[in-house]
Amino acid sequence: SAVISQKPSRDICQRGTSLTIQCQVDSQVTMMFWYRQQPGQSLTLIATANQGSEATYESGFVIDKFPISRPNLTFSTLTVSNMSPEDSSIYLCSVPSGKTRYEQYFGPGTRLTVT
Amino acid sequence: TQLLEQSPQFLSIQEGENLTVYCNSSSVFSSLQWYRQEPGEGPVLLVTVVTGGEVKKLKRLTFQFGDARKDSSLHITAAQPGDTGLYLCAGSTQGGSEKLVFGKGTKLTVNP
């Protein structure tokens, strides 16, 4: 199974600022996914990041608010821009397991609190 | 939008009891997965079911996929404190897409 690390593990930020979350995988993967897990809510897919192309965003999420970089096959970043308290959430990256198209391995998450 | 409804949302039981968690949708899924998430960690895959009516067992956990592939259940026999966690179901849409739709989860607490 893939080992995924995320930095930071948690942060407290002031509204109006931006935070960049890093996701590192111990093997090369074509696809990486970014999710948001709000308190009491489902995991919601923000975007799919493929190396060498622009990220594909889900409905309700835009690049200006959540810019994503994917410089190589083992690394990605998600930036939460111009934060508001509503952005307080856990942000998770994941990668396909490689065994099937739909099973995923998840990172430990980044717990963000915006004050 | 495809939705997965999980019930119950919270469950607190004593060690040794049995429990069942449900995951329901009006949509058909090509596969359905169950994950367990513990505080401060990401979800960890427990099982994937793909065939209508399929039953899979993982030690004391039994997973079932509905015949119409719209619902699933997770049954835990003789629950232990180590089973405590957030149980999430996730569905893959028709065509075997890599994108997953998640339920809100069932937060299970097993008291010793």
| pLDDT for position A15 | 97
Q: What's the CA gap between B69 and B89, in Å, rounded?
A: 13
Contact A101 B102 (CB under 8 A): no
Contact A106 B4 (CB under 8 A): no
Contact A48 B98 (CB under 8 A): yes
- Residues of A with CB below 8 A from B48's CB? 100, 102-103
Could you tell me whether strands A75-80 and A68-72 are parallel, antiparallel, or unpaired per DSSP bridges?
antiparallel
Handedness of CA A102, A35, B65, B28 (dihedral sign): negative
SS3 B82: helix
Q: What's the CA gap between A68 and A98, in Å, rounded?
A: 22
Q: For B27-78, what is each residue's pLDDT tens digit?
A: 898 889 999 999 889 999 999 999 999 999 999 999 999 999 999 999 999 9
> Residues with Cβ < 8 Å from B111, sequence gap 6 or more?
B12, B13, B14, B15, B81
What does each of the 115 residues of chain A score in pLDDT, given as a tens digit? Answer: 789 999 999 999 999 999 999 999 999 998 999 999 998 788 999 999 988 888 999 999 999 999 999 999 999 999 999 999 999 999 999 998 877 777 899 999 999 999 9
Please, what is the average pLDDT of chain B?
Answer: 92
Rounded to the nearest angstrom, the minimum Cα separation between B76 and chain A is 22
- Residues of B with CB below 8 A from A94's CB? 42
SS3 A45: strand
SS3 A70: strand
pLDDT at B2 over 80: no
Q: What's the CA gap between A106 and A95, in Å, rounded?
A: 7
Q: Smallest Cβ distance to B43: which of A31, A100, A106?
A: A106
Q: What's the CA gap between A105 and B66, in Å, rounded?
A: 25
Identity of the residue numbered A60: G
